[in-house]
């Protein structure tokens, strides 16, 4: 990616990850290669790119740490082979923390040389009771929350990293924008009911309220584990326009060219970051 270029060709890869890490890596790699072949220089994949499995003991047995995980190594090699910024939406990984044996849900950005540019551990974990025949979710039972927001430099494009349920916490995105992020990434595995009701409006809201591009790569369809996810990957402009979208839950790729000058233009027209003020909250 040319650091001086204001226009950056990007892509979001939509997947239907299953129970086998090697098969998932192959499926993702095929679509990543297609995206790069079509000209994308920054490619984002969904949350849980490496594995979608409801059996958490099986997940633990299948993954490694960031330094020895097979999927991490494969995607590093792929980024180097394609000479692109490859942003793997998230992988479940072990840590070496003796005091907490939970995994992390880690989003990893690889540079064109295959090195890790930055990584982000999902902060807001999906502990919800949806009802309406949907199961309850308690991600914190097996995932350790991250504690640090991350803005990464991708060849001159400043990227604010997040994962899925983070999308419902606008303060995170406002902090990323204040730190200079022009593009907000939202790899996700939304449920079908919440996706139908909230996915588009939340993504457009995060773009509008920060004056940022939003890239949202999604899992979609009925997975081998039995879980169903919404799909409908989106790329949104700083003005809230949908630049590209996958209109179904099928695996595939969407493309857009991000004119980074639009970020400054929109933030000049509606300077919400500068206009934000501290205030005394009401008493409960």
Residues designated as active site? 47, 122, 164
3-state secondary structure at position 197: helix
Distance of alpha carbon 230 from alpha carbon 132, whole angstroms? 16
Tokens of 31: 């679509």
Kindly give the pairing relationship between strand 127-131 and strand 104-110: unpaired
Alpha-carbon span 146 to 95, nearest angstrom = 12
The token pair at 115 is 């090195």
Helix, coil or strand: residue 65:
coil
Cα 55 to chain centroid distance, Å, stands at 23
CB of 34 closer than 8 Å to CB of 1: no
Three-state secondary structure of 73-139: HHHHHHHHHHCCEEEEEEEEECCCCCCCCCEEEEEEEECCCCCEEEEEECCCCCEEEEECCEEEEEH
Could you give the CA distance from residue 213 to residue 235 in angstroms, rounded to a whole number?
Answer: 7
């Amino acid at each position: 990616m040319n650091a001086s270029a204001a226009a950056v060709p990007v892509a979001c890869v939509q997947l239907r990850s299953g129970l086998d890490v090697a098969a998932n890596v192959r499926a993702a790699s095929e679509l990543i290669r297609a995206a790069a072949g079509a000209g994308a220089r920054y490619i984002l994949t969904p949350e849980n790119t490496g594995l979608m499995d409801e059996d958490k003991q099986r997940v633990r047995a299948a993954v490694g740490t960031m330094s020895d995980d097979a999927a991490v190594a494969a995607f590093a090699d792929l980024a180097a082979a394609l000479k692109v910024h490859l942003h793997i939406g998230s992988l479940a990984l072990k840590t070496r923390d003796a005091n907490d044996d939970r995994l992390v849900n880690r989003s990893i950005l690889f540079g064109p040389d295959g090195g890790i540019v930055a990584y982000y551990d999902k902060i807001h974990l999906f502990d919800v009771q949806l009802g309406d025949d949907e199961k309850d979710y308690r991600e914190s039972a097996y995932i350790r929350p991250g504690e640090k927001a991350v803005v990464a430099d991708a060849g001159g494009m400043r990227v604010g990293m997040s994962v899925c349920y983070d999308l419902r916490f606008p303060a995170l995105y406002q902090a990323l924008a204040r730190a200079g992020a022009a593009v907000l990434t939202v790899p996700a595995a939304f449920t079908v009911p919440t996706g139908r009701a909230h996915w588009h409006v939340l993504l457009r809201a995060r773009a509008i309220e920060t004056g940022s591009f939003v890239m949202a790569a999604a899992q979609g369809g009925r997975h081998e584990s039995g879980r169903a996810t919404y799909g409908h990957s989106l790329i949104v402009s700083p003005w809230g326009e949908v630049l590209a979208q996958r209109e179904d839950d099928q695996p595939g790729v969407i493309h857009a060219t991000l004119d980074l000058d639009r970020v400054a233009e929109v933030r000049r027209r509606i300077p919400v970051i500068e206009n934000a003020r501290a205030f005394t909250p009401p008493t409960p």
